């Protein structure tokens, strides 16, 4: 259920206003000014009367759970007038001290301007002194102004003018000046008009979105005389609600007895019609923006729980089964006179899902097979051996081998080699190195499933993910790649292919080192916090699995994307060029990646010589 608050100006009686908001309008909280907006304070002349209302009007539970304080909008923290700036600084500190005294859960700050340096200075001091208090910066979302018509040919071209600051650029300057503080978030205000470019709204999905403010002026009146939002506003709200912000209805109640209650009732109705989470979303939601170290199944034995999770994937093994069936059918056509079973070797068999998929494909294709299930994890082999004892199909056709595929000597050549050694970035679980070692027992002309895989990468804006890495307070974590279900993020450009691997690998000796340079054009400016990695794999012919957004296998959850961070966020202008470089290095004992940015601002080369992060061979 969404958390909804109301903001109705300066209540004459705070307890009554709170009761009306909570009981009559069914709101969860009330936004009120900390001090009357007309009460300007002087740093030199003390006032005899109290600065604001008494804290005894409400009990501590009401202050801490049902009241959000609003800082006075008259403050001019960046004024060129010294007197106005000093008055504003004194008032700001006074109001923040009062909010801290009340233990309010959050403060609503005024919109930052293009020159918000002193504003940021004051906010930064406050966040350091009150690290538990949330700061919601009000940012009005305005549709961009229509471009002026170009001058006629007879007129000389005007001098180049600096681009007008946008709401996002003002917010970004404040956020950067405050060192990307996690206590500073956005209260995005939706006006009557919304941007035409959908990316303008999506960009805010990469920001710390704490609240969405909907002024009463953004509502229309439907045929029955009740407030309603346009379809465009409803779509915008549905997109933003994926990040669970609070909603604030801002405006004075109308003259009717219902006041703002009708607005809140309508919003709860609209939000109640949003589609429920799919099965995949229910599985993935606990992992949203949760950093995980990539698995290293070659170096470490996986646990039973990990196998169990992957085996529940509703898509991956169906695709593998289809690929094996197609391969068996083609083998049968090519060797119609040979009645001997097709030799299938499943390398990295785990607890047997690929073996089961291969056996099912054999039945569907009407082609007999013989399976070798090769697995180095002795604990997983116990499960395989029990399946041979308990499942008739396995007992007749499956041989379990407890060995590293790179060291095992196969008793006979394989017709089909099946594996699922792919990682979130395709090759980051050392599929190239493993399959290069296993392909020696693949018959000439034999089939590898998968037959190829390509890593993809895109620049990413995600305040959330970057701050999650920042909490470790060391260089090593900024030079490490993470498996993460990316959620609170905005992709600055479409993903592009990076490294490609093909199996069987005809290169002798195999060289799995790679270097790639990619150039992106930002569809909309933002803050680049790193990169997001995907993969696309061809299992056999047209049968594929993919995590890359343009070809994604819907419903497949075995792989989350990879987050590759930058040590320092890089601002990117609208339409700017982003140039990134990636290396894959392989030695006898480890594989590691290095990465760097050269445009729009050069970054250090991350993880040189695998000093912080590598995959063990």
Q: 515 pLDDT exceeds 70?
A: yes
Please indicate, yes or no, whether residues 101 and 188 belong to a single structural domain of this protein: yes
Please indicate, yes or no, whether residues 346 and 396 belong to a single structural domain of this protein: yes
pLDDT at residue 114 in the model: 84
pLDDT at residue 147 in the model: 44
Beta strands 543-546; 526-540: pairing state: antiparallel
Position with higher pLDDT, 24 vs 81: 81
pLDDT digits (tens, 9 = 90+) for 397-455: 999 999 999 889 999 999 999 999 999 999 999 999 999 989 999 999 999 999 999 99
pTM of the model: 0.89
What token pair was written down for 487?
């959620």
Please indicate, yes or no, whether residues 254 and 191 belong to a single structural domain of this protein: yes
Q: 143 pLDDT exceeds 80?
A: no
Catalytic-role residue among 20, 95, 420, 527: 420
Please indicate, yes or no, whether residues 271 and 314 belong to a single structural domain of this protein: no
Please indicate, yes or no, whether residues 198 and 56 belong to a single structural domain of this protein: yes
What token pair was written down for 133?
């208090």
pLDDT digits (tens, 9 = 90+) for 219-250: 999 888 889 999 999 999 999 999 999 999 99
pLDDT at residue 45 in the model: 64
Tell me, yes or no, whether 152 lies in a domain.
Answer: no
Please indicate, yes or no, whether residues 30 and 177 belong to a single structural domain of this protein: yes
Beta strands 452-461; 414-418: pairing state: unpaired
Please indicate, yes or no, whether residues 326 and 224 belong to a single structural domain of this protein: no
Confidence of residue 512 (pLDDT cuts 50, 70, 90): very high
How many independent structural domains does the chain possess? Answer: 3
Please indicate, yes or no, whether residues 255 and 328 belong to a single structural domain of this protein: no
**Domain span holding position 376:** 304-420
CA distance 386 to 373: 13
| Residues with Cβ within 8 Å of residue 435, at least 6 apart in sequence | 347, 417, 419, 421, 448, 503, 504, 505
Q: How far is CA 512 from CA 53, 231, 436, 509, in A?
A: 70, 51, 10, 10
Please indicate, yes or no, whether residues 543 and 462 belong to a single structural domain of this protein: yes
Residue that is last in its domain, among 420, 437, 472: 420
Q: 257 pLDDT exceeds 80?
A: no
Contact predicate 408/374, CB 8 Å: yes
Please indicate, yes or no, whether residues 243 and 347 belong to a single structural domain of this protein: no
pLDDT digits (tens, 9 = 90+) for 475-509: 999 999 999 999 999 999 999 999 999 999 988 88
pLDDT digits (tens, 9 = 90+) for 63-75: 999 999 999 999 9
Q: How far is CA 362 from CA 345, 369, 395, 444, 602, in A?
A: 13, 6, 15, 22, 54
Tell which residue, 413, 449, 416, has the closest CA to residue 431: 449
CA distance 357 to 322: 9
Confidence of residue 21 (pLDDT cuts 50, 70, 90): very high
Contact predicate 271/28, CB 8 Å: no
* Cβ-count burial 387-410 (b if 16+ within 10 Å, e if not): bbeeeebbeebbebbbeebbebeb
Tell which residue, 449, 31, 397, has the closest CA to residue 248: 31
CA distance 547 to 543: 14
Catalytic-role residue among 95, 375, 429, 527: 429
Among this protein's residues, is 554 annotated catalytic? no
The domain that contains 103 carries what CATH number? 3.20.20.150
The domain that contains 379 carries what CATH number? 3.40.50.150
Q: 557 pLDDT exceeds 50?
A: yes
Tell me, yes or no, whether 160 lies in a domain.
Answer: no
Contact predicate 479/541, CB 8 Å: no
CA distance 488 to 565: 15
Tell me, yes or no, whether 210 lies in a domain.
Answer: yes
Distance of CA 180 to the CA centre of its chain: 17
Please indicate, yes or no, whether residues 182 and 222 belong to a single structural domain of this protein: yes
pLDDT digits (tens, 9 = 90+) for 275-313: 888 888 888 999 999 999 888 888 888 999 999 999 999
Please indicate, yes or no, whether residues 565 and 486 belong to a single structural domain of this protein: yes
Contact predicate 489/527, CB 8 Å: no
pLDDT at residue 256 in the model: 54
* Bridge partners, residue 501, by sequence: 453
The domain that contains 527 carries what CATH number? 2.70.160.11
Residue that is last in its domain, among 373, 400, 420: 420
Tell me, yes or no, whether 445 lies in a domain.
Answer: no
What integer is the mean pLDDT of 460-467?
A: 96
CA distance 211 to 31: 12
Average pLDDT, rounded, for the chain: 91
Q: 161 pLDDT exceeds 70?
A: no
Among this protein's residues, is 429 annotated catalytic? yes
pLDDT at residue 296 in the model: 87
Tell which residue, 433, 459, 413, has the closest CA to residue 566: 459
CA distance 260 to 116: 33
3-state SS of 424-440 is CCECCCCHHHHHHHHHH
Distance of CA 175 to the CA centre of its chain: 19
């Amino acid at each position: 259920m969404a958390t909804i608050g109301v903001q109705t100006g300066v209540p004459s009686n705070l307890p009554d206003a709170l009761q009306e908001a909570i009981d009559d309008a069914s709101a969860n909280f009330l936004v009120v000014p900390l001090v009357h907006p007309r009460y300007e304070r002087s740093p030199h002349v003390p006032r005899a009367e109290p600065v604001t209302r008494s804290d005894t009007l409400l009990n501590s539970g009401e202050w801490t759970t049902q009241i959000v304080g609003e800082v006075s909008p008259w403050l001019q923290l960046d004024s060129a007038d010294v007197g106005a700036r000093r008055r504003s600084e004194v008032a700001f500190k006074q109001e923040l001290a009062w909010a801290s005294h009340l233990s309010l859960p959050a403060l609503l700050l005024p919109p930052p301007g293009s020159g918000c340096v002193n504003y940021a200075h004051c906010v930064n001091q406050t966040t350091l002194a009150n690290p538990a208090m949330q700061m919601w910066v009000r940012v009005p979302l305005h549709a961009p102004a229509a471009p002026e018509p170009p001058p006629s040919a007879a007129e000389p071209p005007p001098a180049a003018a600096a681009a007008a600051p946008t709401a996002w650029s003002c917010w970004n300057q404040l956020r950067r000046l405050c060192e990307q503080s996690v206590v500073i978030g956005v209260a995005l205000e939706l006006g009557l008009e919304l941007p035409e470019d959908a990316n303008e709204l999506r960009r805010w999905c990469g920001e710390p979105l704490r609240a969405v403010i909907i002024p009463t002026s953004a509502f229309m009146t439907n045929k029955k005389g009740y407030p309603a939002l346009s379809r465009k506003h409803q779509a915008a709200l549905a997109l933003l609600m994926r990040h669970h912000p609070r909603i604030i209805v801002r405006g004075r109640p109308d003259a009717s007895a219902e006041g703002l209650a009708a607005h809140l009732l309508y919003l709860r109705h609209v939000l109640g019609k949003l589609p429920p989470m799919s099965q995949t979303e229910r599985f993935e939601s606990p992992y949203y923006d949760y950093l995980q170290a990539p698995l290293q199944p070659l170096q470490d034995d996986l646990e039973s729980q990990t196998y169990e999770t992957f085996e529940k994937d509703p898509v991956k093994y169906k695709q593998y089964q289809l690929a094996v069936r197609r391969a068996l059918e083609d083998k049968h056509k090519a060797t119609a006179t040979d009645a001997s079973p097709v030799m299938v070797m499943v390398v990295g068999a785990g607890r047997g899902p690929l073996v089961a998929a291969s056996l099912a494909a054999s039945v569907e294709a009407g082609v007999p097979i013989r399976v070798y299930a090769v697995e180095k994890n002795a604990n997983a082999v116990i499960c395989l051996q029990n399946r041979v004892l308990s499942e008739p199909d396995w007992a007749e056709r499956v041989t379990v081998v407890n060995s590293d595929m790179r060291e095992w000597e196969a008793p006979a050549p394989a017709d089909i080699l099946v594996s699922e050694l792919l990682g979130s970035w395709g090759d980051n679980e050392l599929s190239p190195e493993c399959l290069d070692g296993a392909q020696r027992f693949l018959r000439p002309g034999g089939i590898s499933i998968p037959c190829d895989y390509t890593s993809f990468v895109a620049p990413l804006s995600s305040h959330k993910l970057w701050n999650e890495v920042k909490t470790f307070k060391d260089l090593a974590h900024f030079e490490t790649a993470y498996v993460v279900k990316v959620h609170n993020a905005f992709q600055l450009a479409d993903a592009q292919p990076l490294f490609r691997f093909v199996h069987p690998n005809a290169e002798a000796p195999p060289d799995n080192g790679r270097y790639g340079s990619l150039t992106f054009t930002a569809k909309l400016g933002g803050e680049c916090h790193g990169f997001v990695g995907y993969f696309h794999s061809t299992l056999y012919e047209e049968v594929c699995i993919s995590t890359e957004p343009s070809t994604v296998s819907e419903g497949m959850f075995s792989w989350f994307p990879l987050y590759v961070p930058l040590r320092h966020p890089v601002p990117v202008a609208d339409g700017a060029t982003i140039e990134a470089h990636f290396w894959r290095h392989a030695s006898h004992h480890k594989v590691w990646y290095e990465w760097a940015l050269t445009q729009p601002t050069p970054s250090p080369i991350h993880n040189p010589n695998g000093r912080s992060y590598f995959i063990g061979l």
